Structure 1
């Protein structure tokens, strides 16, 4: 376990602190001072304790050097500690993976940004909605499809036959939608003849060496995993998604997701240069409230498949995730190549997003990614 973690950093030093209830595994560059590292270790633990989180996992990359932190237990009623390999639900961070996969197909000329998705896939759930036939990939990726987040009991047979209803004319305003990403998934599967699980494996996981990740539950790979929790002393049953939904079913950890953030989003590997810039550039405004514009909306516009944060230190990319029992996030600056990824196995964990940014990222900047709507999209 230590050997694999070691391979991810430059000039690593390992500090391990173990007692009956906690373990911290930290890797860092020799260029960092022991005092600074020890302080960050302790503050990382204090954040988890202060927020009463069962476990937290994070990876910070700055100046080409990577530090990883883990703390806590896989299950509130177990002594089993999480490791750097422990799998968490990625929730809506799945959407960014789906978006990148879309752009791999876009570069191959298989699918377009502004052609209605109905030209690729006839979606039975939109048969009775004329406006829904206008939805394009660009609208999906900027959450301007007009569809609700979810309509019907998501993931069930009944849901797959529940009619969809646009709430406004597609392309005219912002409204976050997982349904739209699933529609995009169906179009991508139709034009390639491959399920999204296979597409992501071929276009993302294998090229980037994300060996601990899958778009749905994998019994062969997932031996080290975290349970979701309502809160510190209240665990949920383990959820094993046995299907792929491009909006929320991915399983991964902070190490693997950092590979994706650094290689795909920061460096643009696998995409044409123009396509990479298209994906990470401002595409549309977001709205804090459905029918009301706020001044702070300008600081968190939509890129294609993720969000931007525009503040005193430049333009960042970010996204959060919320599944039952889990909260997660990433933020990255393509110019400086700095990134931060975090996973928490509790529904009370979203404030950790703000705490970790304040701990690891440079002072003197406004973290609009959290302040806009407390991390909610």
Structure 2
């Protein structure tokens, strides 16, 4: 063979090999709960397919491994009518995932000796809305955060889920005796902490920002509406159509400990890393958050669920998982983390299809 041809052939192989190695070296991998390693490119393909097949307009998702964010992606559209694209600045409803962040803040108040988990809340601040029922004097912060206060989820919803704007706050069983998911309890506790700190309830956002958001670089996350959220927030969708649904908005801009957090996956991942690596709160308080405090009994339609303080606890073949979802009808979200493995993920969607996406995502990361 001609020497010149041989030289060109060898050079071509070397260049191809170099490019191939560069691609391999630049590829990042995500470690799953069971130790599986998934390439970022494979994750990209999976997510795009899921969004298309489940009709999810926009998504923000991130994975954490050890002490860092191992993967982050924000894609799709904020609004199917305007076609404005989702990016890393796009904010989503955390909905009930707000409860975990607020519970974390409560434990910071416990660390600072502002509040005791087992002191009846009425001794800090009486609550006229329920003062007619003496049983309310038994309710503690621990009961509120573990959903055993006896309050309904919302006073304006009857047991059939029908809306009643004149609904009266009630206690439906002896506080501390059983589980019942309740946003009302979280709002009462938020009022107590605001009272103890000498601020209005909406001003708790400033306290949480100073104590949690600023140290964790959650720069744009907020429990109250503001101009940034107004500009960058994804609109909700239901069954493929624009539908703001029940969610935080400029029309309802106030602090809700149970539901009003606006954030995105990268910022919320920093919060997950704080849980995994015990930042901001003491180890004792972090462990109290994660300890099983109550149980939602199994029914014909659901299995037993265990709860810590603002967080669900579930055993699996690969260890204990901690999670919480959020669902404001047309905005849904979920996080899951495993402290032993030091892995976790969080995602936000502007659709109702959280559950299907979560099932498919968990199956994907455990089998690939």
Larger RCO (alpha carbons 8 Å, 6+ apart): 2
Q: CA deviation at 1:29?
A: 6.5
Q: CA deviation at 1:222?
A: 4.8
Which range moves more in the overlay, 326-335 or 229-238? 229-238
For residues 1-377 of structure 1, the aligned pairs below 5 Å read 30-32=27-29, 36-63=39-66, 64-152=68-156, 163-194=168-199, 195-220=203-228, 222-236=230-244, 239-240=249-250, 241-263=252-274, 265-289=275-299, 296-297=303-304, 300-360=305-365, 362-363=366-367
Cα distance in structure 2, aligned partners of 1:111 and 1:67: 37
Q: Going by fraction, where is helix more abundant, 1 or 2?
A: 2
The structure with the largest alpha-carbon Rg is 2
Task: In structure 2, list runs of 5 or more residues that go unmatched.
Answer: 1-22, 31-36, 158-163
The aligned length equals: 327
Change (3 A) 1:201 1:119: same
Cα distance in structure 2, aligned partners of 1:110 and 1:36: 45
Give the alignment's TM-score, normalised by structure 2. Answer: 0.82
Cα distance in structure 1, aligned partners of 2:325 and 2:170: 26
Cα distance in structure 2, aligned partners of 1:304 and 1:29: 40
- String of CA shifts for 1:248-306, please: whole Å, max 9, x gaps: 0111001111111111x1112111221211221222222244xx897x41xx4111121
Q: CA deviation at 1:109?
A: 1.1
- Give the SS at the match of 1:341: strand
- Give the SS at the match of 2:231: coil
Contact kept in structure 1, 2:135 and 2:175, CA below 8 Å = yes
- String of CA shifts for 1:325-369, please: whole Å, max 9, x gaps: 200010011121101001010123332122222223x349xxxxx
Task: In structure 1, list runs of 5 or more residues that go unmatched.
Answer: 1-14, 16-27, 365-377
Contact kept in structure 2, 1:76 and 1:235, CA below 8 Å = no
Change (3 A) 1:208 1:29: farther
Alignment match, 1:375:
none
Contact kept in structure 2, 1:254 and 1:343, CA below 8 Å = yes
Cα distance in structure 2, aligned partners of 1:79 and 1:65: 28
Contact kept in structure 2, 1:101 and 1:199, CA below 8 Å = no
Cα distance in structure 1, aligned partners of 2:210 and 2:41: 40
Alignment match, 1:5:
none
- Give the SS at the match of 2:47: helix
Q: CA deviation at 1:129?
A: 1.5
